[in-house]
Amino acid sequence: MVLLPALCTSQGTFTSSRATYYGSPDCYGTPTGACGYGEYGRTVNDGQVSAVARLYRDGTGCGACYQVRCKDPQHCSSDGLNAVVTDYGEGDRTDFIFNRRAYAKLASNPAAAERLFAYGVVEIEYRRIPCRFAGDNVVLKVHENSKFPGYLAIVIQYVAGQYDITAVELWQEDAQQWRAMRRAYGAVWDTTNPPSAAIIVRILLVAVQG
């Protein structure tokens, strides 16, 4: 695997918006999110995950990490929570739609969390932050829809730091060149007629300042 970081771009500091939540049987995320993470997208980051709309950016926003804090000083914690984008979802002028587990982390205590749930939608501010999960710098897997030998799909589940993945390429040994993979959707990249030998992937990253 080869990583190619590019120049940084800036997204500023905190941005004001709104957040809401959705229900699930166990308060975690959904394994059918638009980023294509499957079960990983349900439990990653201790289940503190979010669906986004504007920040989804045709899938480029998948896997991005954000610090989000709400603005009600009576009920909101000062630090808020650090959430991972795993899905696409549109709300009522909201930038984040959390599962209940993540939404509760906005509150200063359990009683305050009940008040935030009662509100349904809260005023927030957010900023992009580096992703920091223990163990690995990059995690990718072969997607279950891959069909040997004619079709390969991979899911890039995690890249440490603060990067957007803008391109993925596959080394083609017989032609001695890199071949672009297609973003199928979310964090899933695919290609037809992949190499039959070892798979070598090159990922183009753009660093983004929070």
The residue-averaged pLDDT of 90-99 equals 95
Summarize pLDDT for 159-206 with one digit per residue, the tens. 999 999 999 999 998 889 999 999 999 999 999 999 888 889 999 999
Q: Which fold has domain 13-129?
A: Barwin-like endoglucanases (2.40.40)
- Residue 93 has what pLDDT? 94
Q: What are 14-59's pLDDT values in tens digits?
A: 999 999 999 888 888 999 999 999 999 999 999 999 999 999 999 9
- What is 69-117 written as a DSSP string? EE--TTTB-SS-EEEEEEEE---SS-SEEEEHHHHHTTBSSHHHHHHHH
What per-residue confidence (pLDDT) applies to 210?
62
Joined together, the tokens standing for residue 40 give 């990983």
Domain ranges of the chain: 13-129, 138-209
Q: What mean pLDDT do residues 100-125 have?
A: 98
* Confidence class for position 10, pLDDT limits 50, 70, 90: very low
List pLDDT tens digits, range 54-92: 999 999 999 999 999 999 999 999 999 999 999 999 999
Q: Which fold has domain 138-209?
A: Immunoglobulin-like (2.60.40)
Which has more confidence, 186 or 12?
Answer: 186
